[in-house]
Chain A
Amino acid sequence: SQTIHQWPATLVQPVGSPLSLECTVEGTSNPNLYWYRQAAGRGLQLLFYSIGIDQISSEVPQNLSASRPQDRQFILSSKKLLLSDSGFYLCAWAGTGIGYTFGSGTRLTVV
């Protein structure tokens, strides 16, 4: 069966520090992978998606970047965090069927 792992679950980071959130998928090959952010009191915004290794598309200009060094690994990064980067980050994958499977999320607080 397919599973998706996302870590860490919570993170508190100072402004200006770097960020690395990791997401891995098991039990599937060549999935489409996605990073979403949910800011406090708001809906979900698609940040990045990837249809293959090293193939990353950005949906919105921002302080973040994404990488996919392996087929089932998707990493969200920042060199210098801003206060506005706080939020709940969700990784998701979509295979050949319809619908997403989401990770459990990372709650990031930038202080």
Chain B
Amino acid sequence: GNSVTQMEGPVTLSEEAFLTINCTYTATGYPSLFWYVQYPGEGLQLLLKATKADDKGSNKGFEATYRKETTSFHLEKGSVQVSDSAVYFCALTEIGGTSYGKLTFGQGTILTVHP
């Protein structure tokens, strides 16, 4: 079956620091990959996505590259802000077949950014 493994948190950084949250996956087919963000007390929002190998998803200064050879989709940001404090989820889905678009999530990584 499919699975997603994220680096364990929590991650605590100072403002303007560089952020990396590791994500690796296993999949039986050729998945699409996502990063979702959950701000305190809210639901999940799509942060970025990539649908094929070597695609780079980007949004709000965050980036992640779909690496098929290493089955990874690490999230990076060059300079974090206090407002980036949230829980970040890596996820995958396979299109077609009997997957019905179900998402498989990693366990989530709590990010706290201090001023």
Contact = CB atoms under 8 A, between A and B. Distances in A.
B77 interface: no
- Is the interface on chain B under 10, 10 to 19, 20 to 34, or 35 or more residues? 20 to 34
Residue of B89, B101, B102 contacting most chain A CB atoms (<10 Å): B101
A43 B105 contact: yes
Contacts of B100: 32, 49, 51, 57
B71 interface: no
Contacts of B103: 34, 44, 46, 92, 100
A100 B92 CA distance: 11
Interface string A1-26: 00000100000000000000000000
Interface stretch (B16-24, B37-45, B62-70, B78-86): B37-45
A46 B101 CA distance: 12
Given A42-B107, A43-B89, A44-B89, A102 B45 contact: yes
Interface string B81-113: 000000001000101000011111111100000
Q: Is the interface of B mostly helix, strand, loop or mixed?
A: strand
Contacts of A101: 46
Residue of A32, A44, A51, A92 contacting most chain B CB atoms (<10 Å): A44
B58 interface: no
Given A42-B108, A44-B108, 16 more contacts: A32-B101, A34-B103, A42-B107, A43-B106, A43-B108, A44-B44, A46-B103, A49-B100, A49-B102, A90-B44, A92-B103, A98-B93, A99-B46, A100-B46, A102-B44, A105-B43
